[in-house]
Homo-oligomer: A and B are copies of this chain.
Amino acid sequence: MRDVAIIGVGMTKWGELWEKSLRSIFVESALLAIEDAGVDRIDSMVVGCMSSGLFIGQEHLSSLLSDYLGQNPVPASRVESACSSGGLALRQGFIEVASGMSDIVLVGGVEKMTDVTGCEATFALGTAADQEYESYHGLTFPGLYAMMAVAHMHKYGTTREQLAMVAVKNHDNGSKNPLAQFPFKITVEAVLSSVLVADPLRILDCSPITDGAAAVVLCPADKAKAFKKPFVRITGTGQATDTIALSSRNDIAWLESTHIAGSKALAMAGRKIGDIDLFEVHDCFTIAEIMITEALGLVPKGQGGKAVAEGLTARNGKFPVNASGGLKAKGHPVGATGVAQAVEIVKQLRGEAGERQIKSAKRGLAQNMGGTGGSAVVHVFEAE
């Protein structure tokens, strides 16, 4: 396999973009990435999107987006793995370049979520759970993650305040990210007094509904120097699945797919978790980030709540997590999130992250997951 590098990244402001369509937000980010890379062509493109069918009545994004980007007849693919669709797109692009099939591959992620009602969005997101054994019976994602939170609190003594601290930290980071949907700080008190969604999770424990896209350009590492910007190598990729239904798991307070995908990605990169300088992880709910820090091995099992309370995962902590603001503050256009994680890490490793820059960052890790952890994709990135 050939070594693979990211030579360009692109992302526009996320939010409720009612005046823009899916195709337009995708094209904006893709053009930024192409311009950033300085490439004069792409050989192929891979797009992650969870449910354009249910959100905007449009499938066949391969044709639509290559068309609107003016890139017909290049090969184009859409991949889906619920909220890890973006991470999966990056992995497919990586494999395509590594294989020798294509040299310059555009990887994008996109989701247009605000053109439907809240009920319709909740239904669409619910298709990431088991339709027959979970969604059909009324379970939604806040409900599923609430059960995981209760289990974690019961088993390890994780507190309601520790959950809130994840949101406070990520909004503090997001306040320094001009592309974030909610770039403002919040307090623990604000979280604790916000509307209850599914006990113990409140609205400020939940990532939002977002329109957004993100894109990166890949090429073989040995050709990366020819382009404009300092490049970043993808040195490891790991992907794993778990049961789709929470009820089939041995332990709902543990994310096995993230643990396996993370271990594989680190092994491929030849790194240990302590070698990594910053992390972008899938904080779809506050409890998720706590469980992910445990599954990746940043802290021992059960210690994720304590870690955030002690500042371990703060921007100036030992393991900075979600310097971008995470899904919580940056927003969570589900198919785009995994690609946006790569965009943030590349900006950090290039020293272009402005007020939220992690000093001397050389290596980053992105963890993206689908459903309640039914799928997970992890990548390791290293500056040249």
Q: Which residues of A contact B (CB under 8 A)?
A: 1, 21, 50-54, 56-64, 66-67, 71-82, 88, 92, 95-96, 98-101, 123-124, 126-132, 135, 239-245, 248, 256-257, 260, 370-371, 374-375
Contact = CB atoms under 8 A, between A and B. Distances in A.
A241 B74 contact: yes
Given A67-B243, A239-B75, A80 B95 contact: no
From A98, A135, A245, name the one whose CB has the most chain B CB atoms within 10 angstroms: A98
B127 A66 contact: no
Given A78-B79, A99-B1, A248-B67, A127 B60 contact: yes
B77 A88 contact: yes
B244 A64 contact: yes
A257 B59 contact: no
Number of copies: 2
Given A57-B123, A72-B243, A241-B72, A62 B81 contact: yes
Majority SS at the chain A contact face: mixed
Given A59-B82, A63-B81, 15 more contacts: A50-B59, A51-B53, A52-B127, A53-B53, A53-B127, A57-B123, A60-B81, A60-B374, A62-B241, A67-B241, A72-B257, A73-B260, A76-B81, A78-B80, A95-B101
A4 to B, nearest CB: 10
